[in-house]
Structure 1
Amino acid sequence: MDMLLFSLNRDTNMPLYEQLYEGIKEAIIHQKIAVGEKLPSKRRLSDFLNISQTTIELAYAQLLAEGYIASKPRVGYFVEDIAELPFIEKTITHTPDTPKKHTYKIDFSPGKIDEDSFPFTIWRKYAKDLIDLHSKELLQIGDRQGEYELRSQIASYLYQSRGIHCTAEQIVIGSGTEQLMPFILRLFNQASIALENPGYSAIPRNQLDHAVIPVDVDADGLLVDQLEKTEANLVYITPSHQFPTGAVLSAARRAQLLKWAAGKVSRYIIEDDYDSEFRYIGKPIPALHSLDQNEKVIYMSTFTKSLMPSLRVAYFVLPPALLARYNEIFSYYSATVPRFDQHILAHFMKDGHFSKHLNRMRKIYRKKHDKLLSILTKHYPTIGVSGDVAGMHILIQVPHSKDEQELQKIAKENDISILPLSNYLLTPVQAEFPTFLLGFGGIPIEEIEAYVDALMMAWSIRKN
């Protein structure tokens, strides 16, 4: 086959690799690509579609895993005969329209931000300044670890805000935690990874070739005693604000965890510091990385909460001992974040606008946080609250005769989106009451009380 003609939409939240995967899959199913036909090489398709080879590799890997294509070493990828696949319709007469995602009138999702407070004017200025002939070199493929200018700004920010000493050379930029986690795991052969339970659900656990070990959390964070009894040599943890419970890893357990990592050469900690900027009670919690004397912590963070989810910029900081292996494995990769976006962000940080924006958003989210707690305490005292020291969501425990699934269904019937804690469990954990994540970041402060009242009314909980 000469080339694949697919329209990739860069203005949607769907990753480019997923769009490419869907396009090729549909072409194979509808027999627009013949059985046995060779797909274009990653390099040729990268040049033709103006996307990175990493994007193409991810798409091809998914097609390979699902049996749509086969790989012949040193030859390429070829279309398989899918007639025997049980999930393929033998005769396709109609392709139904993809249903639109429902937009709820009230949305308590924890991933929402305050849209009205984003500095559009300043961001637009940097974007406009970059898009001219003076920036034509940004049309070429950049550094595979991300633009050096942005990595330098991130290193400076981490030192000032989190006490982390690192260089730009240790930083790798990618389009989200979900994309960067497989990169990290490829650095370790036959690794067993421990994950917090409950924990971050966006990590594609079922797509990883690693043994996943759930480790419970309590009010002091990860149960390190439980971790020590496992065969894990990696642990993924959110120590400063555990997601979704909001627990903070205690000082004693931090020391215990660092000691565990130092016990074997193969052990490492992956610290996800996803929302450390927003803390409302007490002093800022130091990053685990800043306490590490043995270079056993791989630090991760993102601009999803601090700026916008759609920017799709995340990064990790590798200990020096892992840099050589990273450079060996990923020598042919390209950065998955557009260079223009990286430079806009770098200039935004360099000129001090990022710090100003964070200071402003801390005040805004603190006011929302305090108002939400005030409403629950004053008008709904039977509702338990936890995980309220930081971040953009709290946990509520709801004494009710109905379980989580029934309460979530009732909320949906009233056009309210709210997520139960059970969505984030790897293995069942018994809870005394149905527990939900109540996100407040994207709710206008003047609407918080009305939104909470609507939820409680749907659940037949009376207001005091």
Structure 2
Amino acid sequence: MDMLMFTLDKNTAKPLYEQLYIGIKDAIIDKQIEVGTKLPSKKKLADFLNISQTTIEIAYSQLMAEGYVGSKPRIGFFVEEIDELPFIEKEPLNMPIETAKNNTYQFDFHPGKIDTDSFPFSIWRKYAKNLYDQSSKELLQIGDPQGEFVLRAEISNYLYQSRGITCKPEQIVIGSGTEQLLPMILRLLGDDSKFALENPGYSAIPRIQLENRALPIPVDDDGLMVDELEKTNANIVYITPSHQFPTGAVLSATRRTQLLNWAAKGEDRYIIEDDYDSEFRYKGKPIPALQGMDQNNKVIYLSTFTKSLMPSLRVAYFVLPLPLLAKYKQLFNFYSATVPRFDQHLLTDFMRDGYFSKHLNRMRKIYRKKHEKLTEVFETYYPLVSITGDKAGMHILISIPLSKGEDELKEIAEKNKIAIYPVSDYLLSPIEWKFPTFLLGFGGIPLDQIEEGVHQLMKCWGISKSTSKAR
């Protein structure tokens, strides 16, 4: 064939081999070089273009790797036949590309926000600095699929001390959030399982895998109505017994026993206990975990460091009953841990030296003050505004007898730079609430701004303390 006629620009930042590779590739695609054509030898082309043979070799190697040319030993390089991609002419996109809304609220009552001003950055930074060192080079390798054993041992000890749970590190599986761990639990329990969920309840559950096979079970002041669960053919129930989300109800002692007895009656029955914010309780003694009461290996315990430390850490875990361990290892022996090993060891060191307990104790005091301030301010609007779910956690529920609906009230609040979250966002199936009801999280709002935030919310809804008292 004739010598390849390419113009190479030696004055640009693009490497010569890349220019040559692109030129030959485009020529092959455009049929300027026919299939079966022998390319010039590296020596001839190098002499012709006045470049090194190494440059030619790199370009030819890339063309071979992508299938544009083939090589025959001691003969040379030949153009291969490639399939043509169909070309579909598209209308030009004249519309502007939407970007995510970045609403700036003066007050954000999101139930998942934490108090960032109180995080022990200096201590956390010290442990991180010590960890990112040559001595930790082993952490660059893939670790245990269930998570680092040292972290699981710390979690096991913490659960025994704080939640009355007796478990071995081998029973614990660590993952990057509840949403990542739940599909593993669902697969472990089998595709033919029938799931029951609290209604209202944790909204991420239906979106994961259960949209078409979740059975809603109503909740009242004593938590999940186990009598209603017993009427269904469900064999798995997902529950937040220590602080029901979002109502704040605590599963009563009678229903705890009733629920554990329900699970014990079937070999395939299990309870998934989500203990998402059990660390923060403001009235009475801490509620013991269901798992600690279970005598029949029927409770899968699930929790996270989202509220106790930070949402962005992305560390959650579940504790498997011993009978499920063998099946777990069989199904997930090829998995890799989804939490970076450095993060796991950082958290381990933080827990081992007692800083996690100190941080929790401090945050309990801070959130207790915020909780007291929030309820104290709302008491000035009583009886118009009623409060429920105020014994634990980092949010309360308020109900307001207004003629406007939740969506309209939410929109009014947003126009006044206040973020508010309707309880209807957490419904699995419709429930007729007597009055518009909202979740008010207080974790992310500074203590000295809570009173102003509540007053501004009430004001934009047309509610005043004097109006409240008159009614």
User: Normalising by structure 2, what TM-score?
Assistant: 0.78
Partner of 2:357 in structure 1?
355
Distance in 2 between residues matched to 1:272 and 1:310, nearest whole Å: 19
Q: Secondary structure at the match of 1:385?
A: strand
Structure 1 pair 110–421 and aligned structure 2 pair: CA distance change class (3 A): same
Q: Which amino acid aligns with 1:135?
A: S
Q: Secondary structure at the match of 1:203?
A: helix
Note if contact 1:453-1:463 (Cα within 8 Å) is conserved in structure 2.
no
Task: Report the alpha carbon displacement of residue 405 of structure 1 after superposing the two structures with TM.
Answer: 1.0
Q: Which has the larger radius of gyration?
A: 2
Task: Report the alpha carbon displacement of residue 382 of structure 1 after superposing the two structures with TM.
Answer: 1.3
Task: Report the alpha carbon displacement of residue 208 of structure 1 after superposing the two structures with TM.
Answer: 4.2
Distance in 2 between residues matched to 1:328 and 1:234, nearest whole Å: 21
Deviations 1:349-368 (A, max 9, x none): 00000000000000000001
Structure 1 pair 183–206 and aligned structure 2 pair: CA distance change class (3 A): closer
Match status 1:339 vs 2:334: no
> What are the within-5 Å matches in structure 2 for residues 242-391 of structure 1?
242-391=244-393
Deviations 1:366-417 (A, max 9, x none): 0010111111112454100000000010000011111111111111111111
Deviations 1:184-203 (A, max 9, x none): 01012211111100000122
Note if contact 1:399-1:433 (Cα within 8 Å) is conserved in structure 2.
yes
Q: Which amino acid aligns with 1:404?
A: E
Task: Report the alpha carbon displacement of residue 100 of structure 1 after superposing the two structures with TM.
Answer: 3.6
> What are the within-5 Å matches in structure 2 for residues 75-86 of structure 1?
none
Distance in 2 between residues matched to 1:227 and 1:90, nearest whole Å: 54
> What are the within-5 Å matches in structure 2 for residues 162-177 of structure 1?
162-177=163-178
Distance in 2 between residues matched to 1:322 and 1:208, nearest whole Å: 21
Match status 1:125 vs 2:126: yes
Structure 2 gap segments, 5+ residues each = 1-84, 467-471
Partner of 1:180 in structure 2?
181
Partner of 2:161 in structure 1?
160
Partner of 1:99 in structure 2?
100
Structure 1 pair 223–209 and aligned structure 2 pair: CA distance change class (3 A): closer
Task: Report the alpha carbon displacement of residue 98 of structure 1 after superposing the two structures with TM.
Answer: 2.2
Note if contact 1:418-1:436 (Cα within 8 Å) is conserved in structure 2.
yes
Partner of 1:36 in structure 2?
none
Q: Which amino acid aligns with 1:186?
A: R
Distance in 1 between residues matched to 2:92 and 2:323, nearest whole Å: 53
453-462 vs 195-204, which moves further: 195-204
Note if contact 1:197-1:427 (Cα within 8 Å) is conserved in structure 2.
yes
Deviations 1:273-313 (A, max 9, x none): 00010000001101000110101000000000000000010
Partner of 2:7 in structure 1?
none
Deviations 1:318-357 (A, max 9, x none): 0010001100110110000111111000000000000000
Among residues 236, 240, 256, which one is paired with 1:238 in the alignment?
240
Among residues 402, 405, 410, which one is paired with 1:403 in the alignment?
405
Task: Report the alpha carbon displacement of residue 431 of structure 1 after superposing the two structures with TM.
Answer: 1.0
Q: Which amino acid aligns with 1:168?
A: P
Distance in 1 between residues matched to 2:414 and 2:278, nearest whole Å: 31
Distance in 1 between residues matched to 2:260 and 2:282, nearest whole Å: 26
Q: Secondary structure at the match of 2:205?
A: coil
Distance in 1 between residues matched to 2:174 and 2:208, nearest whole Å: 24
Task: Report the alpha carbon displacement of residue 173 of structure 1 after superposing the two structures with TM.
Answer: 0.3
Instruction: Give the RMSD, CA atoms, in angstroms.
Output: 1.8
Distance in 2 between residues matched to 1:114 and 1:444, nearest whole Å: 7
Distance in 2 between residues matched to 1:90 and 1:209, nearest whole Å: 36
Distance in 2 between residues matched to 1:230 and 1:176, nearest whole Å: 30
> What are the within-5 Å matches in structure 2 for residues 370-449 of structure 1?
370-449=372-451
Distance in 2 between residues matched to 1:206 and 1:147, nearest whole Å: 26
Distance in 2 between residues matched to 1:406 and 1:225, nearest whole Å: 36
Distance in 2 between residues matched to 1:215 and 1:253, nearest whole Å: 14
User: Normalising by structure 1, what TM-score?
Assistant: 0.79
Structure 1 pair 90–316 and aligned structure 2 pair: CA distance change class (3 A): farther
Distance in 2 between residues matched to 1:281 and 1:324, nearest whole Å: 40
Distance in 2 between residues matched to 1:218 and 1:355, nearest whole Å: 33
Note if contact 1:240-1:286 (Cα within 8 Å) is conserved in structure 2.
yes
Partner of 2:65 in structure 1?
none
Q: Which amino acid aligns with 1:137?
A: E
Match status 1:108 vs 2:109: yes
Deviations 1:132-174 (A, max 9, x none): 1000111111110001110000000000000100000000000
- Identity, % of aligned positions: 67
Q: Secondary structure at the match of 2:188?
A: coil
Distance in 2 between residues matched to 1:463 and 1:315, nearest whole Å: 45
Structure 1 pair 373–209 and aligned structure 2 pair: CA distance change class (3 A): closer
Distance in 2 between residues matched to 1:228 and 1:424, nearest whole Å: 23
Partner of 1:198 in structure 2?
200
Note if contact 2:179-2:208 (Cα within 8 Å) is conserved in structure 1.
no
Q: Which amino acid aligns with 1:374?
A: E
Deviations 1:200-244 (A, max 9, x none): 012253644872111110000001011111111110000000000
